[in-house]
């Protein structure tokens, strides 16, 4: 990972660059590879009793025949949803 700390617009992660960073509220990442271009947005919602909820939204395009096959293998198989659930569960507070 490169760029300034705390993470700001322009910081980079492997496969992603930060396009929006609102501390404590939102982090939007964009990236792409041979089979797709994508955006991953994390949002923190304040709830009652001092609790909060972390949400993740993914958006992607899968151009061409290779992109359609990739989408079938990764998205339609449920693998992407499973990985996202595990990733978000790792951020739970005790």
pLDDT in tens, 52-72: 888 889 899 999 999 999 888
Residue 90: per-residue pLDDT: 73
Q: Look at residue 77 and tell me whether its pLDDT is greater than 80.
A: yes
Q: Are strands 52-61 and 36-46 parallel, antiparallel or unpaired?
A: antiparallel
Residue 69 within a domain:
yes
* Domain hosting residue 74, numbered range: 12-89
Rounded average pLDDT over 11-29: 91
- Residue at token pair 């760029």: 3
Strand 12-13: give its sheet, edge to edge.
12-13, 16-22, 26-33, 36-46, 52-61
In this structure, the number of other CB atoms found within 10 A of the CB of residue 19 comes to 15
Q: How many domains does the chain have?
A: 1
Residue 94 within a domain:
no
Residue 34 within a domain:
yes
Rounded average pLDDT over 7-34: 90
Residue 93: per-residue pLDDT: 59
Residue 7 within a domain:
no
Residue 1 within a domain:
no
Residue 61 within a domain:
yes
Residue 45 within a domain:
yes
What's the whole-model pTM score?
0.73
Residue 3 within a domain:
no
């Amino acid at each position: 990972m490169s760029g300034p700390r705390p993470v700001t617009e322009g910081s980079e992660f492997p496969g992603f660059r930060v396009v929006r960073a609102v501390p404590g509220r939102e982090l939007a990442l964009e990236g792409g590879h041979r089979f797709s271009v994508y955006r991953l947005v994390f949002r923190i919602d304040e709830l009652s009793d001092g609790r909060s909820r972390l949400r993740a939204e993914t958006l992607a395009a899968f151009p061409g025949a290779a992109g359609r096959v990739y989408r079938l293998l990764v998205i339609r198989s449920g693998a992407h949803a499973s990985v996202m659930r595990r990733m978000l569960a790792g951020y739970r507070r005790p």
